[in-house]
Amino acid sequence: PLTGKTAVITGSNSGIGLGIAREMAKAGANVVLNSFTDRDEDHALAAEIAENFGVEAKYVAADMSKADDCRRLVVAAGGCDILINNAGIQHVAPIEEFPTAKWDAIIAINLSSAFHTTAAAVTGMRERGWGRVINIASAHGLTASPYKSAYIAAKHGIVGLSKTVALETAEDPITCNAICPGYVLTPLVEEQIPDTMKEYGMDRETVVRDVLLKRQPSKEFATVEQLGGTAVFLASDAAAQITGTTISVDGGWTAL
Ligand code: NAD
């Protein structure tokens, strides 16, 4: 159903972004992969998706912590019908010890990049008379946990940005929404396990059970395929009147 549409997914050489790229390609969309690196294996991911799903796929290196790179990504995509703002990083520390450089990087990559890419993409969407902006927020865009001040501020920010863009595009056939995943076992989550072990003085198994999945009533991680399927749904005609809202994929976290 997405044949002929181009989906640009920021931060998509790994984890949820790559999962979304695969589901978009499976649904027939051409895909533009992105991260800040420019390695053979990054370009190989695009070649593999093109081959597997019979779509056009390319990889564009661009650093989502830099405003110019965000805007350049949209131009280099050569048309952006579906924009998925997914690039994100995490840092876990109490606020008194939270490094300023980490705060700045998280706000830039997890929040400001979506402002820049959306600003660059909306004009083309209006001209072509169709568009979808899908922001990957988090359960932490709706609730908080200790030691993640920058991430939670950025994710609450992106929920607000999604609502604003939805209102500004409401009379065009363009929608803007945020997906709020609970925990998904990607490198981003793997990497925060050691710091969380330190903060709480727990072993790995206890962190997974009593910290990560404690808030997730299903006691299961969500999967990148499920996030991809949710993004494909938001891009479908069935979702044309869904705009300015959030969809939680969190095993019941935000119902608690
Ligand atoms: P990940 O680390 O596997 O993926 C993050 C992606 O962002 C990677 O492709 C990485 O290369 C890219 N990236 C990082 N810095 C970048 C930069 N400066 N420029 C361009 N790309 C950059 O992590 P993930 O779990 O797949 O996270 C993807 C998104 O999902 C993030 O926004 C994250 O906050 C969100 N999320 C993840 C979870 C989870 O449990 N994994 C839960 C809720 C929300």
Domains in the chain (CATH in brackets) are: 6-182+222-249 (3.40.50.720), 183-221 (no CATH)
Give the distance (Å) from ligand 1 centre to CA of residue 171: 31
Give the distance (Å) from ligand 1 centre to CA of residue 127: 30
User: Average pLDDT, stretch 226-252?
Assistant: 98
Q: Which of 20, 74, 186, 220 should be mutated for ligand 1, with most atoms under 8 A from CB? A: 186
Whether the per-residue pLDDT at 250 is higher than 90: the answer is yes
Mean pLDDT (the chain, rounded): 97
Q: Is the CB of 16 under 6 A from ligand 1?
A: yes
Give dist(CA 62, CA 172) in Å, integer.
29
Q: Is the CB of 135 under 6 A from ligand 1?
A: no
Flag whether the ipTM exceeds 0.90: yes
User: Average pLDDT, stretch 192-208?
Assistant: 92
pLDDT one-digit tens code per residue, 125-144: 999 999 999 999 999 999 99
Q: Is the CB of 76 under 6 A from ligand 1?
A: no
Q: Is the CB of 65 under 6 A from ligand 1?
A: yes
pLDDT at 221: 93
Catalytic residues: 151
pLDDT at 192: 83
Q: Is the CB of 12 under 6 A from ligand 1?
A: yes
Give the distance (Å) from ligand 1 centre to CA of residue 139: 14
pLDDT at 189: 87
Give the burial string for 162-182 (b: 16+ CB within 10 Å, else e): bbebbeebeeeebbbbbbbbb
Using a 10 angstrom Cβ sphere, with 0-12 exposed, 13-18 middle and 19 or more buried, the burial of residue 106 is: buried
User: Average pLDDT, stretch 224-251?
Assistant: 98
Whether the per-residue pLDDT at 68 is higher than 90: the answer is yes
